[in-house]
């Protein structure tokens, strides 16, 4: 084997790679926020008394879950301009990540909501709570406690999915790595370092979600 390892380009490009990590985390956090909003809103509409809203949410979930994320982000970036909607790469990536993650969040949150006993809802009604108050206080909070580990795993997957945003030149870790590799031709070294950085990002996310679980979703409830 004649290949000689040379990490000089990685060391020189480390500040840019770290900024790429920040870009990845920024995209991930913004995408998670949008996905959470879509997830909660989708659950409300999915159980609406109006059939049209229910079918729209069902169709949305099936469409997103059964098409590749790359196709989705290309659609937002390349197809929407034909109807007058033009977005820069970063907003495009956030919207695509949020929509993709939201489709999965709807099903995860809905599973938690359905696990809540009917008697708890009836107790809320007996106390005179509004439908929205019952959903927020009696249903959603206990449901989130039950499904938070699954939701956290989905959000970590969403964080790693940000790498696909490099296809539209959004600023994140993979796009930075591609530029460094194209200048240095040191593919093994560059993508080996990027693998370690993605592992570090995932570890930080895991730690953050563990802290949220211990502070907000621990038992017994105080």
Q: Where are the domains of the chain?
A: 14-216
Q: How confident is the model at residue 56, as a pLDDT?
A: 95
Q: How confident is the model at residue 83, as a pLDDT?
A: 85
Cα–Cα nearest to 155, from 36, 40, 71, 60 = 36
Q: How confident is the model at residue 207, as a pLDDT?
A: 92
Output the CA–CA distances (angstroms, integers) from residue 202 to 28, 67, 147, 208, in the order listed: 11, 25, 19, 10
Per-residue pLDDT of the chain (222 residues; tens, 9 = 90+): 577 888 888 999 999 999 999 999 999 999 999 999 999 899 889 888 889 999 999 999 999 999 999 999 999 999 988 888 888 999 999 999 999 999 999 999 888 887 777 787 778 778 778 877 887 778 777 887 888 888 899 999 999 999 999 999 999 999 999 999 999 888 999 999 999 999 999 999 999 988 888 877 765 544
Q: How confident is the model at residue 219, as a pLDDT?
A: 57
Rg (CA), the chain: 21
Q: How confident is the model at residue 81, as a pLDDT?
A: 87
Burial class (CB in 10 A: 0-12, 13-18, 19+), 98: buried
CATH of domain 14-216: 1.10.3720.10
Q: How confident is the model at residue 1, as a pLDDT?
A: 57
Question: What pTM was estimated for this model as a whole?
Answer: 0.88
């Amino acid at each position: 084997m004649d290949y000689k390892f040379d990490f000089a380009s990685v060391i020189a490009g480390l500040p840019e790679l770290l900024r790429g990590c920040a870009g990845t985390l920024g995209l991930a956090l913004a995408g998670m926020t949008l996905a959470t909003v879509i997830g909660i809103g989708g659950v409300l509409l999915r159980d609406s008394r109006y059939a049209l809203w229910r079918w729209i949410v069902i169709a949305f979930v099936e469409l997103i879950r059964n098409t590749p994320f790359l196709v989705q982000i290309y659609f937002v970036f390349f197809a929407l301009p034909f109807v007058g909607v033009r977005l820069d790469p970063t907003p495009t990536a956030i919207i695509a990540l949020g929509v993709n993650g939201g489709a999965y969040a709807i099903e995860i949150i809905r599973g938690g909501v359905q696990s809540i006993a009917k008697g708890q809802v009836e107790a809320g009604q007996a106390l005179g709570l509004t439908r929205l108050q019952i959903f927020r206080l009696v249903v959603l909070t206990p449901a989130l406690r039950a499904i938070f580990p699954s939701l956290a795993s989905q959000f970590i997957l969403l964080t790693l999915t940000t790498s696909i945003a490099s296809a539209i030149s959004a600023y994140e870790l993979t796009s930075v790595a591609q530029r460094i590799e194209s200048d240095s031709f040191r593919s093994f070294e560059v993508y080996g370092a990027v693998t370690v950085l993605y592992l570090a990002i995932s570890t930080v996310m895991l730690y953050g979600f563990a802290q949220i679980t211990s502070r907000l979703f621990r038992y017994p409830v105080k």
